Amino acid sequence: MTKTLEISLFIFVLASFLGYTVITRVPGLLHTPLMSLTNALSAISIVGSLLLAGGGESTMATVLGSIAVFASFTNIVSGFLLTDRMLGMFKRREAPSRKAPTPEVGP
Amino acid sequence: MNDTVIPLAYLFAAACFILALKWLSHPTTARRGVRVGEIGMAVAILSTLFKFEIVEYQWIAVALVLGAILGIPLGLVPMTAVPQRTALSHAFGALAAGVVGTAEYYLRKPDLDATTMIALGLEVVLGFLTFTGSLIAAGKLQGIVRDRPWIYRGQNIVNLAVFASALTMVGLLVADPGRAVLFPIIIAVSLVFGFMLVIRIGGADMPTVISLLNSYAGLSASMMGFVLDNRLLIIAGALDGSSGFVLSIIMCRAMNRSFTNVLFGGFGAEETVGAIEQRPVRTVDPEETAFLLDMARTVVIIPGYGMAAAQAQHKVRELTDALLRRGVDVKFAIHPVAGRMPGHMNVLLAEANVPYDLLYDLESINPELPQTDVVLVVGANDVVNPAARTDQHSPIYGMPILDADQAASVIVVKRSMRSGFAGVDNELFYLDKTQMLFGDAKAVIGQVVDELSKLPAKEVAGR
């Protein structure tokens, strides 16, 4: 096993555990925004697509890379836009007073 | 500079993404999470565009413009269409991973080492199966593809054989990456497998399937990170993958099903067995409903997807406002699988301006239901079926439900006596304490609101 692969595997496993921990703390109330946000974030695969689309290596690479840039950027734009719109709809009954009580949202 | 700045920019983006998810743990900080996610994304994209490897920009520009043109309307869909949009975005994410994997294979095939080839193979198989699977899921949610599962004898064996053949071919490529003839076959088989996997899954399982596809799309992106040796991608993909995985587990638990059962079970496949026996139910009219709700101290509303299908959420909010003004304590009980994707019902109610502090999840509301005067069930069925607790032979036995039958009285708003997704009769409707308010949810709730406004004003304590 190469050193690069070893580090990458460490990162993958640790990121998965971190994701599990962080995500179990998101309340059920916000599970739909959670899914649209993680969707937008995983469209970070655009960085790989950009190198293909602009690398000028071959026509095939340019075409496939451009398709991937298009698909990822669609997710980035719609994902962030939709998540923000949804979260903007979540309002409390009373205007947040001096000491806002914690809402009763379960795990 | 390129070598130092860009990795640091990627590290910054990864930190932003983790922070974004952390801030999503509370509605008051969640929008800040979106901002920080956007910043991370912008930094990662801009720094990539400055890489020396990028020599031409015209196709990138075209793709970005087209992506924005499609992305903006997809970001503005109504809340009822969010599940379809989400399935579609899983399809896009998976397509991106699949085509990048394909291009990488053809560019690098003579000197792909075994581990890279494994990652590339998984990226392509997961990418393309998630692509077609998500398209079918989106089609089912949109109503273009038949909602009932499509099932034939021996289907599981055929599906497993197809999947196994895709993995075998990946194995052959790992042994010798030069066998380029196999690559298009792997793509084709993966596309077919995704189609076959989801076409057999019924509407009730959509929340689980969307979550699973979410997980696959994330894993596929993560594998792409291994192929391209890009750790930011590995991290973002792993976060997405684990998010989908956590949500799948929550959905499965909420329906008391296992992954295998969802994927290979064909829940709700049979049309209702025999005709539902005609049993007497008590009915109630909007006027009496208004009176009963007004007399109550505590009312818990249990919404189901039927409420959203009837576009009744705004009327339900008007009813809530009217009752709150009249001093009635109103809460909403949200089952985890209410709606068509995880958390969907909360978003539908938030869109209708129902304050989120009135929304309670299953664990927090069930202990309160025995002390509740009136439970108003709007368009929900299986999630309030007491058979899940009592009838061992019921297909929904063991599923956690909202204990509507424990309340002092129950009013069920329903179009007709048709059964729910699971195709089982609901004992709740025949209880002595239950009254059925038949009709279109939007129309009848509207009538209840009108009737409430006709009632004489009452003294509300504390006003």
Q: Where in the sequence numbering do the catalytic residues of B fall?
A: 382
CB A68 within 8 A of CB B99: yes
pLDDT for res B95: 97
- Decide if pLDDT at B308 tops 80: yes
Angle at B59 between CA B110 and CA B96, to 5 degrees: 60
Q: Which of B22, B82, B100 sits opposite A45 (nearest CB)?
A: B100
Q: Give the model's pLDDT for residue B264.
A: 67
Range of the domain at A62: 30-89
pLDDT at B422: 65
What percent of chain B is modeled with pLDDT above 90?
70
| pLDDT reading at A31 higher than 50 | yes
Most A CBs within 10 Å, among B23, B211, B239, B249, to test the A interface: B239
* Burial classification of residue B311, based on how many CB atoms lie within 10 Å of its CB (0-12 exposed, 13-18 middle, 19 or more buried): middle
Lowest mean pLDDT among B143-152, B263-272, B282-291: B263-272
Token pair 């998630």 is at which residue?
A: B130
Share of chain B above pLDDT 70, in %: 94
Q: Do residues B118 and B81 lie in contact, with contact meaning Cβ atoms separated by under 8 Å? A: no
Question: Is residue A15 in some structural domain?
Answer: no
Chain A residues touching B44 at Cβ < 8 A: 44, 47
Residue A95 has pLDDT above 70, yes or no: no
Residue whose pair of structure tokens reads 């909202």 in the numeric block:
B402
Collect all residues of chain B within an 8 Å Cβ-Cβ radius of residue A49. Answer: 96, 100
- Residue A100 clears pLDDT 80, i.e. is over it: no
Shortest distance between the Cα of B282 and any Cα of chain A, in A, equals: 34
Write out the two tokens for B255: 């329906």
Radius of gyration of chain A (CA): 20
Contacts of B89 in chain A (CB under 8 A): 36, 39, 74-75, 78-79
In a domain, A59, yes or no: yes
The nearest CA of chain B is from the CA of A100 a distance in Å of 10
Residues of B with CB below 8 A from A91's CB? 350, 353, 355-356
Check CB contact under 8 Å for A67 and B99: yes
Taking the CA of residue B261 and the nearest CA in chain A, the distance in Å comes to: 23
Mean pLDDT of B246-269: 77
Give the model's confidence band at B395: pLDDT under 50 very low, under 70 low, under 90 confident, else very high. Answer: confident
- Alpha-carbon gap: A95 to the closest alpha carbon of chain B (Å): 11
Mean pLDDT for B120-138 is 96
- Secondary structure class of B284 (helix, strand, coil): coil
Specify if A12 maps to a domain: no
CB contact under 8 A, B96 and A66: no
Q: What is the pLDDT of residues B148-204, one digit of tens each?
A: 777 777 778 888 899 999 999 999 999 998 888 999 999 999 999 999 988 888 777
Coil, helix or strand at residue B412: strand
CB contact under 8 A, A82 and B77: yes
**Please, what sign has the CA dihedral across residues A9, A15, A21, A27?**
negative
Residue tagged 């109630």 (tokens): B284
Q: Which of A38, A63, A83 to mutate to test the interface with B (most CBs of B within 10 A)?
A: A38
The runs of H, that is alpha helices, within B26-81 are 30-49, 58-75
* Mean per-residue pLDDT of chain B: 90
Is residue B361 a contact partner of residue B400, using CB atoms and an 8 Å limit? Answer: no
Sequence-distant contacts of B256-264: CB under 8 A, at least 24 apart: B256/B388, B256/B396, B256/B397, B256/B398, B256/B399, B256/B400, B257/B205, B257/B208, B259/B212, B262/B201, B262/B205, B262/B208, B262/B209, B262/B212, B263/B197, B263/B201, B263/B212, B264/B156, B264/B159
Q: What structural domains and CATH numbers belong to chain B?
A: 81-265 (no CATH), 286-454 (3.40.50.1220)
User: What's the ipTM?
Assistant: 0.90
Looking at residue B456, the DSSP 8-state letter turns out to be: P
H or E element, residue B172: helix B155-175
Q: B25, A61: Cβ pair inside 8 Å?
A: no
Residue B143 has what pLDDT? 87
Per-residue pLDDT, A50: 95
The residue of chain A with its CA nearest to that of B70 is A74
B406 vs B10: CA distance, rounded Å: 54
Please indicate, yes or no, if residue A46 is contained in any of the structural domains. Answer: yes
A58 within some domain:
yes
* Burial (Cβ within 10 Å: 0-12, 13-18, ≥19) of residue B10: buried
Q: Are strands B374-378 and B409-414 parallel, antiparallel or unpaired?
A: parallel
**What's the whole-number mean pLDDT along residues B101-126?**
92
Phi-psi region of A92 (alpha: psi -120 to 50; beta: other; left: phi over 0): beta
Q: To the nearest whole angstrom, how far is the Cα of B287 from the nearest Cα of chain A?
A: 28
**Distance linking the first and last C-alpha atoms of chain B:** 66
CA B101/CA B107 separation, integer angstroms: 10
Cross-chain CB nearest to A4 (options B56, B102, B229): B229
CB B358 within 8 A of CB B351: no
Question: Would you say B197 and B263 are in contact if contact means Cβ atoms under 8 Å apart?
Answer: yes
Is there a domain that residue A3 lies in? no
- Mean pLDDT calculated for residue range B110-114: 86
Question: Quick one: average pLDDT of A63-70?
Answer: 97
Q: For chain A, what is the domain count?
A: 1
C-alpha count within 13 angstroms, C-beta hemisphere, residue B11: 6
pLDDT of residue B248: 92
- For tokens 């109503």, name the residue: B143
Which three-class secondary structure state does DSSP give residue B406? helix
- The structure tokens 């690098």 sit at B108
Count of beta carbons in the 10 Å neighbourhood of residue B188: 12
The partner residue sitting opposite A54, judged by closest CB among B26, B54, B230, is B54
Residue A23 lies in a domain: no
Indicate the residue of A73, A91, A96 with minimum beta-carbon distance to B71: A73
Q: Which of B70, B221, B358 sits opposite A93 (nearest CB)?
A: B358
Is the predicted pLDDT of residue A102 greater than 60, yes or no? no
Residue of B nearest to A7 (CA): B231
On chain B, the residues whose CB falls within 8 A of the CB of A82 are 74-77, 82, 85
- pTM, to two decimals: 0.90
Amino acid at B124: V
Q: Pick the range with the lowest mean pLDDT from B60-69, B84-93, B347-356, B451-460.
A: B451-460
pLDDT > 50? residue B265: yes
